[in-house]
Amino acid sequence: MSHAAEDSHQDGPAVLAKVKPLAVLPRKPLVLNNRDFHWITEKICRIVEDPAPTWWWVCFVISVAIASFLGVGLLWLVSTGVGVWGLRTPEFWGWDIVNFVWWIGIGHAGTLISAVLCLLRQKWRTAINRASEAMTIFAVMCAGVFPLFHVGRVWLAWWLFPIPNSQGMWPNFRSPLEWDVFAVSTYFTVSVLFWYMGMVPDLGTLRDRAVKKWRKYFYGILAMGWRNSTRHWNNYEMAYLILAGLSTPLVLSVHTIVSFDFAASLIPGWHTTIFPPYFVAGAIFSGFGMVLTLVLPLRSMFKLHDLITQHHIDCMCKILLATGSMVGYAYAMEFFIAWYGGNIYEGFAFINRAFGQYAWAYWIMISCNVISPQFFWFRKVRENTALVFIIVLFVNCGMWFERFVIIVTSLANDFLPSSWGYFSPSIVDIFTFVGTMGFFSTLFLLFVRFLPMLPIGEIKHVTPQADPHFHPEEHDASPAVAAMAAKGGHS
Amino acid sequence: MSEEIFGIMAEYKNPHDIYEAAGKFRDAGYGCSKKWDTYTPFPVHGLEKQMGVGRSHVPWIVLLGGITGFTTGVLITWYMNGFDYPLVVGGKPYWSMIFPFPVMYECTILFSAFGAFFGQFLTNGLPRHHHAVFNSEQFERASDNAFFIVIEAAHPLYDEYKTRALLESTGAFNIHLVSK
């Protein structure tokens, strides 16, 4: 490798001899300031072990208060009927389904980080995968609330599952909604298994450090007697890899099946083949938006700058840029096909989206989802944490509007002009949605407080000194590499 | 005090040393039994090969889970929509492999994941209430930054003096006996 590079110096332009580029570009360090194993353990465990900071309590109380909206909203719905949501002819899918798709989409980034990036050997995933997986699980819980209560008589929701009932009836497996039941419940279960299994060694670390008795029991039971044996790591890593391999087709199938809920219908604007890839790209886009929304404040609150580095933020911004552009491409392609397909109803649906009564929602969606991530082309923007945070808030907002545009505009102006309408949410709709955000934050704050927020073992594993072939002397001998590492290195 | 000895425990200072030492123990014939092990705070890649530990059996359990899941998917959709409660929808056949395929697909993944998750615990013999290695007061650092090796007294090559000498020659320190 180095020999080939020397040859090219002689053949190439004269400037190469002067600049002397490195034959092998050094990898950017994933843990800054050369932290040792013990520092990593201390840093992550102390988040759980130290008394809760004041801001945590403030956030927790506010979150619980907001989460109570969800309880009140659902109680109101159950005691009155689904009519308390703003659903009426012709729109029987309103905010509830918008919220369902939005939350489920957010969940996708967690699985993408833990599974797809694991298979692609993207080692930077280690710092953020635990928190993103937690985000996935809590987001799917919030998503599940909406279809569950939309069925009307929530106490009969178990009819969705293939469980024998007194009427001798079974679910209809021809319906994409039934596929959804299987996809979402499988997704939730597998995400929980993956999350928990990855956490077992770290729970062992917390158990070994525990001083208080309740902590010894709590983490002792959760750690299941894990003892860091190499024979165990061997099985563990195999199981982890397989779970990553299983989660990858799973995560792609979940949003594909969610998109079938729409694509398998005959409504203009829904009945399109582009939906599965378009929904998956959108899901990853919105999910990374949410990961950054959660990780950036935690990083500055807990001073995690050595573990969640600028390089991590950079990578996530680039994924946002890529998926945001894919989503933009999908919007353009939908329009093109609506025209090229020559179907007047389809054509109307799209013109109506952009210039009809919901044009305001459409252009919010375009500006948030297509225009705002384009700023990530510039390194200056990616390095400005405050700006990144503002842009990801726009992304979260834009992706909610995308689902709103798809669902509401298509239903509001369907085949019968006599039944056209304009959807407005009721107060219960708004309360329930805001309530899920409180519910989500409550769970996430509890997670940060009681479970290892960053994977301790995995982060140690990606440090250079974790390699059995690492020699400290050799590492120090290369000043170019060290200088590059110190600079944070831009490739 | 007639405490029974579980084995001898020693520490190495970094992944490199324990990696080299594990190879020396294997070469000395210790690979003949499973009664020895190394403990590291994170998976040290290649250490299991140095110890002579074979490939994990978890994939077989996953395969079993996957086959069970797919069969379950086929059977429930056939039984419910094709046999027990057949329903005419658009004059199409009551049951085929095509329309409920997403259900079979999800069941396959679900049961495979169960296979991986429970397979990992099964092959590792976990959950487990207690293990003798925890009797060492040093051992709690195994989940922080210490790299331990344990040769059990039940190992056929175990000999308190010879094993200790081998540990010393491979650069181990903090060599101590662990009671049962």
pLDDT digits (tens, 9 = 90+) for A345-393: 889 889 999 998 999 999 999 999 999 999 999 999 999 999 999 999 9
**Per-residue confidence at A477, pLDDT binned at 50, 70, 90?**
very low
Instruction: Quote the CA–CA distance of B178 and B146 in Å, as a whole number.
Output: 16
Residues B122-126: what's their mean pLDDT? 89
DSSP letters, A414-429, are -S-GGG-------HHH
Q: What is the pLDDT of residue B172?
A: 86
> Is there a cis peptide before residue B127, judged by omega within 30 degrees of 0?
yes
How far B76 CA sits from the closest chain A CA (Å)? 8
Q: Based on the structure, what is the number of domains in chain A? A: 2
**φ, ψ at A135 (rounded to 5°):** -60, -45
pLDDT tops 80 at residue B110: yes
Examine the domain organization and report whether A468 and A453 are in the same domain.
no
Chain B 98-137, residues with CB within 8 Å of chain A CB atoms = 99-100, 102-103, 105-107, 109-110, 112-114, 116-117, 119-121, 123-124, 126-131, 133-134
Mean pLDDT in residue range A104-111: 87
Give Cβ neighbours of residue B90 (< 8 Å, ≥ 6 apart).
Answer: none
Contacts of B124 in chain A (CB under 8 A): 229, 231-232, 235-236
Range(s) of the domain holding residue A87? 42-164+173-459
Q: Which residues pair with B178 in a beta bridge?
A: B7
- Evaluate whether residue A37 is within a structural domain: no
Highest mean pLDDT among A113-127, A285-299, A461-475: A285-299
By CB neighbour count within 10 A (0-12 exposed, 13-18 middle, 19+ buried), where does A108 fall? buried
pLDDT, one tens digit per residue, over A318-348 is 999 999 999 999 999 988 998 998 888 889 8
Domain match, A362 and A485 both? no
Same domain, A198 and A230: yes
Query: Do A16 and A111 reside in the same domain of the chain?
Result: no
Q: Which of A286, A273, A271, A236 is nearest to A101 (CA)?
A: A286
B177: which strand partners?
A: B8
In-domain check, residue A101? yes
Q: How many CA atoms lie within 13 A of A491 on its CB side?
A: 12
Q: What is the mean pLDDT of chain A?
A: 87
For residue A246, pLDDT over 50 is answered with yes
Residue A3 in domain: yes
Over range B80-106, report the average pLDDT.
89
Domain assignment present for residue A83? The answer is: yes
| Rounded Cα distance, A321 and A328, in Å | 10
Give the CATH number for residue A281. 1.20.1630.10
Q: How confident is the model at residue A472 (pLDDT cuts 50, 70, 90)?
A: low
Q: Is the pLDDT of residue A7 over 70?
A: no
The beta-carbon neighbor of B40 closest among A173, A230, A471 is A230
Instruction: Compare A474 and B116 and report the one with higher pLDDT.
Output: B116
- pTM, two decimal places: 0.89
| DSSP classification of residue B4 | P
Whether A260 and A361 map to the same domain: the answer is yes
- Running DSSP on this structure, what letter comes out for residue A379? H
Largest distance between two CA atoms of chain B: 83
Residue A448 confidence class, pLDDT cut points 50, 70, 90: very high
Q: Compute the distance between CA of residue B153 and CA of residue A243 in angstroms, rounded to an integer.
A: 36
Range B151-171 average pLDDT: 86
Residue percentage of chain A with pLDDT more than 90: 51
Of the pLDDT bands very low, low, confident and very high (cuts 50, 70, 90), residue A490 is very low
Q: Is residue A35 part of a domain?
A: no
Confidence grade of residue A451 (pLDDT, cut at 50, 70, 90): very high
Chain A contact present for B97, CB below 8 A: no
* Separation between Cα atoms, residue A59 and residue B53, nearest integer Å: 48
Concatenating the DSSP letter of every residue in B47-112 gives: HHHHHT----SHHHHHHHHHHHHHHHHHHHHIIIIIIIS---STT--S--SSTTHHHHHHHHHHHH
Q: How far apart are CA A463 and CA A264, in angstroms?
A: 48
Q: How far apart are CA A120 and CA A319, in angstroms?
A: 14
pLDDT at B13: 86
Q: Is A183 within 8 Å of B106 when comparing Cβ atoms?
A: yes
Q: Is A75 exposed, middle or buried (0-12, 13-18, 19+ CB in 10 A)?
A: exposed
A75: pLDDT confidence band, cut at 50, 70 and 90?
A: very high
Question: Which residues in chain A have their CB less than 8 angstroms from residue B121's CB?
Answer: 224
Is B102 in contact with A243 (Cβ distance < 8 A)?
no
pLDDT band at A272 (very low <50, low <70, confident <90, very high): confident
Closest-CA residue of B relative to A202 is B143
**What is the number of H-type helices and E-type strands within chain A?**
21, 0
Taking the C-alpha atoms of residue A106 and residue B76, their distance in angstroms, rounded to an integer, is 31
**Are A227 and A297 part of one and the same domain?**
yes
Say what the pLDDT of residue B33 is: 83
Residue A476 has pLDDT above 70, yes or no: no
Residue B81: half-sphere exposure toward Cβ, Cα within 13 Å: 25
Half-sphere exposure of B169 (CA within 13 A, CB side): 10
Listed residue (A350, A359, A355) closest to A332, CA to CA: A350
Verify that A135 and A119 share a domain, yes or no: yes
- What is the average per-residue pLDDT within A91-111? 89
Interior angle at CA A220, CA A219 and CA A225, nearest 5: 130
Radius of gyration in angstroms for the set of CA atoms belonging to chain B, rounded to a whole number: 25
Chain B nearest-CA residue for A222:
B127
Helix or strand (DSSP H, E) at B179:
strand B173-179
Inside any domain, residue A36: no
CB atoms within 10 A of CB A401: 23
Using CA atoms, how far residue A236 sits from A99, B31, B143, in Å, is 36, 21, 15
Same domain membership, residue A85 and residue A16: no
pLDDT-derived band at A398, boundaries 50, 70, 90: very high
Give the pLDDT mean for A289-293: 92
Q: Flag whether A15 is in a domain.
A: yes
Q: Which residue has the tokens 């989206």?
A: A353
Confirm or reject contact between B176 and chain A (CB < 8 A).
no
Interface test with B, best of A123, A186, A209 (most B CBs within 10 A): A186
CB-CB contact of A107 with A36 (8 Å):
no
Closest residue by Cα to residue A107 from A200, A186, A202, A199: A186
Q: Are residues A284 and A208 part of one domain? A: yes
> Residue A242 and residue B58: Cα distance in Å, rounded?
9
Mean pLDDT of B75-84: 91
Percent above pLDDT 70 for chain A: 93
Q: Which amino acid is at A105?
A: G
Task: Scan for tokens 């419910």, then name that residue.
Answer: B80
In angstroms, the CA A356 to CA A362 distance is 9
How many CB pairs lie under 8 A apart between chains A and B?
205
Detail the DSSP E strand segments found in A311-385: none
- Omega of the bond prior to A51 within 30 degrees of 0, cis? no
Q: Per the structure block, which two tokens stand in for A189? A: 């279960």
Cα separation, A431 vs A444, whole angstroms = 20
- Pinpoint the alpha helices (H) of A356-424: 359-366, 379-382, 385-404, 410-412
Q: Are residues A7 and A147 in the same domain?
A: no
Among A29-38, A98-107, A424-433, where is mean pLDDT lowest?
A29-38
A67, A120, A18: which is closest to A432 by C-alpha?
Answer: A67
Give A489's pLDDT tier (boundaries 50, 70, 90): very low
pLDDT at residue B106, as a whole number: 94
